[in-house]
Amino acid sequence: MNVVHRDLAARSCLVGPQLEIKICTLGTVINRIAYPADYCHLEGAGRQSQPMPIRWMAWESVLMGKFTSKSDVWAFAVTLWEILTFAREQPFENLSDEKVIENIGHMYQDNKKHMVLPIPVGCPREIFDLMCECWQRNENSRPNFREIHLFLQRKNLGYRPSASSF
């Protein structure tokens, strides 16, 4: 739909009674208050004064302030990682904000020293491979949401949540 969210994360998702998921933006300011550890103040010329969710953001968003549907694809993969870890840990939990920014710098420099999030326990390899595609340095190499949707639909063929799931 070419809508850029800029703060896609599990904390921005609402789960309905039939397990449908809605992405909201109304909670962004509330999220900064409720989840302060998820946001970091970035300093430097031209930086936005509001805290940013750097652990979910594509490198070009952090370093260049560039937000596109492809940077949201990056954040979607982090959100998928959160879901598959049952949101029991924060992305790059073992790194300080400064180390996360350093890691993002490695991605920018394309020096192959950057880290990606680890595969969640029990995550099918093809789902993790999808996440890694979403974390490609070159945004043109990342899938778009239509491609992600089609891939996940194929993986989900025939699945229907039972009433006891609710």
Of residues 138, 139, 99, the one with CA closest to residue 115: 99
Q: Is 7 a catalytic residue?
A: yes
* Residue 104 to residue 133: CA distance in whole angstroms: 16
Residue 13 DSSP code: E
Annotated active-site residue in 7, 72, 97, 110: 7
> Block means of pLDDT (10 residues each) for the chain, length 166 residues?
84 86 73 81 66 94 94 97 94 96 95 95 96 97 96 83 62
- Per-residue confidence (pLDDT) for residue 27, from 0 to 100: 56
The confidence score (pLDDT) of residue 47 equals 54
Residue 14: phi, psi to the nearest 5?
A: -110, 135
Max intra-chain CA distance, the chain: 53
Q: To 5 degrees, how large is the angle CA 13–CA 18–CA 22?
A: 25
